[in-house]
A and B are shown apart, each in its own frame.
With several copies, the nearest count.
Chain A
Amino acid sequence: MSVRILYFASLADRAGCSEECVDSPASTANSIYEEARLRHGFAFGIESLRVAVNGAFVSWDSAVSDGDEVVFIPPVSGG
């Protein structure tokens, strides 16, 4: 399964990129994040993040399908 991950703010700094396509056996948002965390050394645990799939917030145990856009949302600081 291949998913497209977008990174923003400090996650993009840490990953050194704003986007990547990954082939993974992982099938939930949670497991996709844990793989990315290992790969890039992210500081955030999932308790500090939210996750969006295809442009909508979802729960961490949501299933992720081939071709999905997955985004980990660190605490926001707009305004």
Chain B
Amino acid sequence: MILFRLSEFAIDIEADRRAIDHPAAGAVVAFEGRVRDHNDGRSVHALDYQAYERLAESQGERVVRAAVVRFGLHRAVAVHRVGSLVIGDVAVWVGVSASHRDAAFDACRWIIDQIKADVPIWKNEHYADGDSGWLHPDGSPTSDLPE
């Protein structure tokens, strides 16, 4: 079973949510990262995600599988969008089920943190003023870095 995938299309949260059901699961935690209308004080109206798909898929899968073992999860799934998104779209969805809420909260948080740190996906924000730029983790665009 594939636990991490990239999606060119809107994430079907309800289907992915059902995929993590388990009769022994007392706790389900889900995280949605959504496109919001501002970043670092700038007004955002859309963005693109680009992935190095081959490596993103293998790294993402590794992250989610590691979480299942590390936190003793019953189920876990993560999905990340690629392509063009607008305000309110779900960019990334992470859902986990566990016997208890400690493990579920910790695992969900750990997965999204690992994805943000280690999975080769990049965000290009399009601002209301017409500017745009690829973001790197300190939150600043790099397209205008000095050479």
Contacts and interface: CB of A to CB of B under 8 A. Distances in A.
Given A9-B50, A56-B58, A74 B112 contact: no
Given A52-B55, A78-B49, A79-B115, A8 B143 contact: no
A70 B143 CA distance: 21
Contacts of A52: 52, 55, 120
Contacts of B121: 76-79
17 contacts: A9-B122, A9-B124, A10-B122, A10-B133, A10-B142, A57-B55, A74-B122, A74-B136, A75-B137, A75-B138, A76-B120, A76-B122, A77-B121, A78-B56, A78-B80, A79-B91, A79-B112
Contacts of A43: 142, 145-147
Interface string B46-62: 00011110111011000
A52 B120 CA distance: 10
Nearest to A57: B55
B83 to A, nearest CB: 13
B36 to A, nearest CB: 12
Contact of A10 (B33, B52, B118, B134): B134
Given A41-B147, A43-B147, A77 B58 contact: no
Interface in A41-76: 41-44, 52, 55-57, 71, 73-76
Contacts of A12: 50
Q: Pick the 6 closest A-B CB pairs, nearest first.
A: A78-B121, A9-B122, A75-B136, A79-B116, A43-B145, A77-B135
